[in-house]
Amino acid sequence: MTTDRKQGFDTIAIHAGTAPDPATGARQVPIYQTTAYVFRDADHAAKLFNLQEVGYIYSRLTNPTVSALAARVAALEGGAGAICCSSGHAAQIMALFPLMGPGRNIIASTRLYGGTVTQFSQTIKRFGWSAKFVDFDDLAAIEAAIDADTRAVFCETIANPGGYITDLDAVAKVADKAGIPLIVDNTTATPYLCRPIEHGATLVVHSATKYLTGNGTVTGGVVVDSGTFDWSASDKFPSLSQPEPAYHGLTFHPTLGGMAFTFHSIAIGLRDLGMTMNPQGAHYTLMGIETLGLRMQRHVENAGKVAEWLEKHPKVAAVTYAGLPSSPYADRVPRITPKGAGALFTFALKGGYDACVKLIDSLKLFSHVANLGDTRSLVIHSASTTHRQLTPDQQIKAGAAPDVVRVSIGIEDVADIIADLEQALAQV
């Protein structure tokens, strides 16, 4: 659906990438539950494999349902293209894959989801890659950490678990000066609250498992390419700027321009890593995105009220919600997330670790799960679960100290959310 005027967020969330099915007129995107696609003839097949023609070959690479989701998320983020994959962690590897090589490194924020910290500090070593963790409030430290082998800078818009908001504009300037891409995990903010590409990001990654789907039914990931980075400006990214031996010597960036990263990720990344999103999962996520704007409004509204209530509670030592005037990051909200500070944050209890455990065991409306971004309000003690694998120092730097509880505020009636917290805190 195209018009001459710029469409609003909710219109794009409903219509982008989803024209009526040409064969049947079906208005909702069908679930194309197929492995392969019949070629018209031998010449058609050859053109598809040579990237001379866009089409479908095999569902490990592309699938019409999954492609519709990729187009919709790219439109919402203001990107040139997108790649959908099997999870948020898969999206992170997919984002790095065309950029990295043995001996190369990334600069990563200390304020990241615990699983991401482990992936970057441990797992990517098996590929010969490494990560340097830096406090992203210290721009000089980011710049100092970048060396000749650095290939990307990585952060989250609204960091999990503490709700810390990254100054994307400032970080992007550091990355630009070094001639390397900024990769931003926008899972917690969603494009409703922030479009990182408008703040200088080259690539945006999502765990579609969270707010995009919104109902805790799907695992999935998305990588969105801005299409604006000059991969040929240096010799740092040979997979994109030089003949790629893994794809019969094709030079992706000179040939495909702004779509180079997207096509490389499909033709080589999905082909060889196989981190494919299934079409049914893509369908669920497409349906979830239709109400993303409405849900995020309610999430933010509820989170603000809950955070204000918690901050006044005598058993609560601190609340990290950036939407509170007391937050050291409150001034970033109008610039980075003007529609609100999200719905994920932490609060510390004066009773420490034991009080956190008692609180979680006493909650009734909240679900104690290792997830976020659901319509339901969720709670977890990060230090003993999602961030358990980190050292105590890493836990504190990530905002997951032992006396801290993480909440993902849902879209229930806010009075019921507060009432559940009240009765649980009374038992601490």
Answer whether 403's CB lies under 8 Å from 358's CB.
Answer: no
What would the pLDDT profile of 193-213 be if each residue is shown by its tens digit? 999 999 999 999 999 999 999
Q: What does the alpha-carbon distance between residue 147 and residue 46 come to, in Å, rounded to a whole number?
A: 42
Residues 215 and 74 in one domain: yes
387 belongs to a structural domain: yes
pLDDT tens digits for range 42-87: 999 999 998 889 999 999 999 999 999 999 999 999 999 999 999 9
Asked if residue 277 lies in contact with residue 220, where contact means CB atoms within 8 angstroms, the answer is: yes
Q: What is the pTM of this model?
A: 0.94
Q: Do 272 and 314 share a domain, yes or no?
A: no
- Domain-ending residue, one of 232, 266, 288: 288
Same domain, 308 and 267: no
Question: Average pLDDT of the chain?
Answer: 95
Using CB atoms within 10 A of its CB, is residue 120 exposed (0-12), middle (13-18) or buried (19+)?
Answer: buried
Domain with residue 200: its CATH number is 3.40.640.10
User: 218 and 197, same structural domain?
Assistant: yes
CA-to-CA dists, residue 218 to 189, 281, 347, 369, 412, angstroms:
18, 6, 28, 15, 21
CATH of the domain at 369: 3.90.1150.10
Q: Do 274 and 299 share a domain, yes or no?
A: no
Alpha-carbon distance 249 to 260, whole Å? 14
The single-letter code of the amino acid at 286 is L
Strands annotated E in 120-262: 130-134, 150-156, 182-185, 203-207, 221-225
- The dihedral built from the CA positions of residue 29, 34, 39 and 40, taken in this order, carries a sign that is negative
Claim to verify: residue 211 and residue 273 sit in the same structural domain: yes
One domain for residues 343 and 318: yes
Is 419 inside a domain boundary?
Answer: yes
Same domain as 84, residue 57? yes
Cα 370 to Cα 340: distance, rounded to the nearest angstrom:
24
Q: 74, 208 in Cβ contact below 8 A?
A: no
Residue with tokens 């994109």: 240
- Domain membership of residue 136 (yes or no) is no
The per-residue pLDDT for range 317-342, each reduced to its tens digit, is 999 999 999 999 999 999 999 999 99
Q: Which residue has the higher pLDDT, 52 or 171?
A: 171
Whole-angstrom distance, CA of residue 280 vs CA of residue 54: 22
Q: What angle do CA 166, 167, 168 make, to 5 degrees?
A: 90
- Give how many domains the chain has, as a whole number: 2
Helix 88-96 with 114-121: angle, nearest 10 deg: 40
Last residue of a domain, one of 288, 314, 329: 288
Whether 384 shows a pLDDT value over 90: the answer reads no
Q: Is the dihedral of CA 121, 125, 127, 133 positive or negative?
A: positive
Is there a cis peptide before residue 64, judged by omega within 30 degrees of 0?
no
Q: For residue 201, give its domain range.
A: 9-99+181-288
Q: Looking at residue 4, what is its pLDDT?
A: 61
Judgement on whether residues 375 and 421 belong to the same structural domain of the protein: yes
Indicate the helix (H) or strand (E) that contains 347: strand 344-349
Residues 357 and 413 in one domain: yes
Q: Is residue 139 domain-resident?
A: no
| Residue 164, in any domain of the structure | no
Say whether both 261 and 328 belong to one domain: no
Query: Quick one: average pLDDT of 88-101?
Result: 98
Residues 87 and 232 in one domain: yes
